[in-house]
Amino acid sequence: MPGGRQRNLEAEGPEAGAAPEAAPSLPSGSFTSSLSKKTKRRHCRDTMAATVRRQRPRRLACWALMAVLLADLLALSDTLAVMSVDLGSESMKVAIVKPGVPMEIVLNKESRRKTPVTVTLKENERFFGDSAASMAIKNPKATLRYFQHLLGKQENNPHVALYRARFPEHELGFDPQRQTVYFQISPQLQFSPEEVLSMLLNYSRSLAEDFAEQPIKDAVITVPAFFNQAERRAVLQAARMAGLKVLQLINDNTATALSYGVFRRKDINSTAQNIMFYDMGAGSTVCTIVTYQTVKTKDAGMQPQLQIRGVGFDRTLGGLEMELRLREHLAGIFNEQRKGQRAKDVRENPRAMAKLLREANRLKTILSANADHMAQIEGLMDDVDFKAKVTRAEFEELCADLFERVPGPVQQALQSAEMKLDEIEQVILVGGATRVPKVQEVLLKAVGKEELGKNINADEAAAMGAVYQAAALSKAFKVKPFVVRDAAIYPILVEFTREVEEEPGVRSLKHNKRVLFCRMGPYPQRKVITFNRYNHDFNFHINYGDLGFLGPEDLRVFGSQNLTTVKLKGVGESFKKYPDYESKGIKAHFNLDESGVLSLDRVESVFETLVEDSPEEESTLTKLGNTISSLFGGGTTQDTKENGTDTVQEEEEGPAEGSKAEPGEQAEPREEAEAPAEDTSPPPPPEPKGDAAPEGEKTAEKDNGEKPEAQPSEKGEAGAEGVPPAPEEEKKQKPARKQRMVEEIGVELVVLDLPDLRQDELARSAQKLQDLTLRDLEKQEREKAANSLEAFIFETQDKLYQPEYQEVSTEEQREDISGRLHAASTWLEDEGFGATTVMLKEKLAELRKLCQGLFFRVEERKKWPERLSALDNLLNHSSMFLTGARLIPEMDQIFTEVEMTTLEKVINETWAWKNATVAEQAKLPATEKPVLLSKDIEAKMMALDREVQYLLNKAKFAKPRPRPKDKNGTRAEPPLNASASDQGDKVIPPAGQTEDAKPISEPEQETRSEPADSEPLELGGPAAESEQKEQPTGQKPTLKNDEL
């Protein structure tokens, strides 16, 4: 770009142009011999020194930049992995992506691919996953399951009452500040649903980190598509407590659709394909209609895209409700069996009900493949066993009304997508509860297809799609683009009231509704609403739109339909600051981000005025300087920043999608959105910031937090990197231009649906969870130390009776060690439960020090045979190598006498040390500390091998010496076995001439190359010994020819 080239010239100009200045001025006769060579050298030296001095700061800066980049890369290399968590009602799946491991499901500590969403909280310990699920029967009150159903819900929500009815063993307390509930485990132990979810997310991260063998902070978490704003914010707060950086909250149906599309990328083309995903999990059912097709993108060309077209759901239809009905059926059978024994109702026993729920889960799974099965539980209550036969017909009769609700989500999805069943190409089953045969039967009849698609992993599809999205959002990975257009299920609108004058002198209040994000509209998306008729502080409300598609019960579960009240402060002051400017309204910038969470980014008061241009005041060179200055970040920082922001906003400013007023409420168009009339004017010529306002005014703008904002038409031209056009003609056409001033408006948000945790409460919860994590880690460390001590005691006691240990120890030594081990075992049984981690480690270190000598003697004796054999082989091979090296003829010798003498000395010293040390060791008793140590043997081998390797490397890279010429110039006789061509090519040099000789002949090269090419390992085999013996014999004919 022109601006870039100017910037480079500006940066490099002093150095590039410094050569003529730095060159010393030579006298008039400098191009003759009048300047001595010494003087020239001095001038050259001074010139080079000056150049080095000038370049030194630049080199230092370059090295500093490289060091910073390298540090950043090293820091990033430790945290390259990303993870996804598919949070289901009953179980969760965790997947990771790291360098070398693309999209892999994480195995938990039990080597299973899915982990129960269960947490057991006791006074001094916590359990997660399968360990917690096993604790559900022993301690059902402290074992929490299906707690996601309480996220983002106040105490009067029907789902809270439903949770109490399903799990009466849990005591739910009331939080008056947020109107929510929390789990009261004990008088001292209470946790909110967000805190429990945070514990589980932290546990999932620990599983992922153990699997990836590196720390992980970035994650994508799946949530049900029907989660509203309060529920989504609750999940984000839980992740923040766990220290996770949430890249995105992705709807589980979107993640499933993404996984399906990623693995079938080749089947997607420009023809739209409509696929229906029917997902029935443990807690809810969601039906989604997705359209796949390739679209043209701005950056990557034609790429596949999935678009969510329609969504239908049932919050309580799932496998859990079927299991609860089975549990109730089994409880009735058990009570009937004990009717005449005056026994208590089994429903009053939490442990017995936990056992029945586990058996109901097993029954539901087995009845999906069998017509009947026998339910049996040992010691269900009062040591009484339970056994009863349950048929599939009975199960289907119990859940008959649930099966009637199966087609409901399908009809909702079709209505929201405005499609018919004929347009659906395939219906694919997702979720564990879709394995129930009756569900498939009813669904197949409802959709009218020949068969249902089962060509997707019903359990892991969402986790795989979410981790693909995590890799796409992470800066550490590059994945093939796949465009995802999710849809907002619940519409959101803005409501405000203003005074209107319907008749002269008669003023009244008019209530206006403005749709901000329409139902099934795509997100992420930004919107801007402009209020044009306010010049004082006012309030407006953000609420949900028309929720008529929800039933009465779903509306009660949904909660508050009012989201936020926004109170603006400072509107009147902004008008007083700019009395001569024309107001362009109060602009509210909204953002529905990738997680589906709505936020109000900022509110601004915008003013405009016409500014006279004075092109004569600045020369072209001054404009060029200002342009370059702006490229380096000076001059127009605020303006550039504002332009960059508004370039994105202006595309969505103006009438927003679905901006029609509600029926019966017609708002004035000017009030609803910014009038786009200003965009139709021809673009004015770009001018430097200096002309926009005086310097004093610019300073005041910065101090007061004001930001100049250019027109959209100006921004279009400002994108050309500030290249100054030929300005003469345009200046005549446009003598004035518009200047925009932006004033930030103070915002106070009053959350109406569910108040978020305050920052101090959030920090307190995070600290509480961190303390619990540290306590768990300390407990694990203590258990590890106790297990290590106990294992050492048992293993050492067993070793004392093994022959190899008895051989190197006396009876008194073994008795002493045995007595100390017995005392430590007794201490561990009596006092070990109260011992700290440090005490256990000290006790283990004491016992290891006691047995160190015994273990050392045994280990040394085990290593002797192997080490001594290796030393003997190396000595033999080194001696053979030295013998072969001394047999090389003098004219071909590549080793010096000093080198061969040195090798011979090392060989002799090693032989002498080995013989002396072995003899000395033979005189010592086995119970004493050995003098023959394996580390000494290895040191001797390394020293000898180093000398041999030095000579081998020298031979490998040695160049052949030139052959001497014969003084008489006569040719030598060719070898007896040489061919005619060889005789014609070889020339025997005259005797006595040693220079200007040709390279030596092929037989001589072969003779010298053999020792040079031999490797150390080749010396060790029997074949190498035979070759060494045959070499002198094979060289005799060649040596005779050379002597001739």
Model pLDDT for residues 261-292, shown as the tens digit of each residue: 999 999 999 999 999 999 999 999 999 999 99
- Among 328-342, 429-443, 788-802, where is mean pLDDT lowest? 328-342
Q: What is the mean pLDDT of the chain?
A: 78
DSSP-assigned beta bridge partners for residue 757: none
Q: What pLDDT does 623 receive?
A: 56
Q: What pLDDT does 965 receive?
A: 62
**DSSP three-state, residue 385:** strand
Q: What is the pLDDT of residues 127-180, one digit of tens each?
A: 999 999 989 899 999 999 999 999 999 999 999 999 999 999 999 999 988 899
Q: What pLDDT does 593 receive?
A: 93
580 CB-contact burial (10 Å; exposed 0-12 / middle 13-18 / buried 19+): exposed
Q: What pLDDT does 61 receive?
A: 57
Q: With the CA atoms of 727, 729, 734 and 740 taken in that order, what torsion angle do they form, in degrees rounded to the nearest 10? A: -20
Single-letter amino acid code for the residue at 896: T
Q: What pLDDT does 475 receive?
A: 87
Q: Which of 189, 191, 188, 219 is nearest to 203 (CA)?
A: 219
Q: Which of 640, 810, 770 is nearest to 243 (CA)?
A: 770
pLDDT at position 617 over 90: no
**Rounded distance, CA 258 to CA 307, Å?**
10
Q: Are 708 and 701 in contact (CB under 8 A)?
A: yes
pLDDT at position 684 over 80: no
Q: What pLDDT does 130 receive?
A: 92
pLDDT at position 1 over 80: no
- How far apart, in Å, are the Cα atoms of 641 and each of 91, 661, 943, 999? 46, 34, 67, 74
When pLDDT is averaged across residues 563-573 and rounded to a whole number, the result is 92
pLDDT at position 722 over 50: no
Read off the pTM. Answer: 0.70
Other beta carbons within 10 angstroms of residue 161's beta carbon come to 12
pLDDT at position 632 over 60: no
Q: What pLDDT does 276 receive?
A: 95
**DSSP three-state, residue 756:** coil
Q: Are 560 and 178 in contact (CB under 8 A)?
A: no
When pLDDT is averaged across residues 584-608 and rounded to a whole number, the result is 93
Report the share of the chain in percent with pLDDT over 90. 53
pLDDT at position 711 over 50: no
Q: What is the pLDDT of residues 40-58, one digit of tens each?
A: 455 555 555 555 455 555 5
Q: What pLDDT does 713 receive?
A: 36
Q: Are 659 and 515 in contact (CB under 8 A)?
A: yes
Q: What pLDDT does 791 receive?
A: 94
- Angle, helix 897-923 to helix 934-956, in steps of 10 degrees: 160
- Angle subtended at Cα 327 by Cα 323 and Cα 328, rounded to the nearest 5 degrees: 120
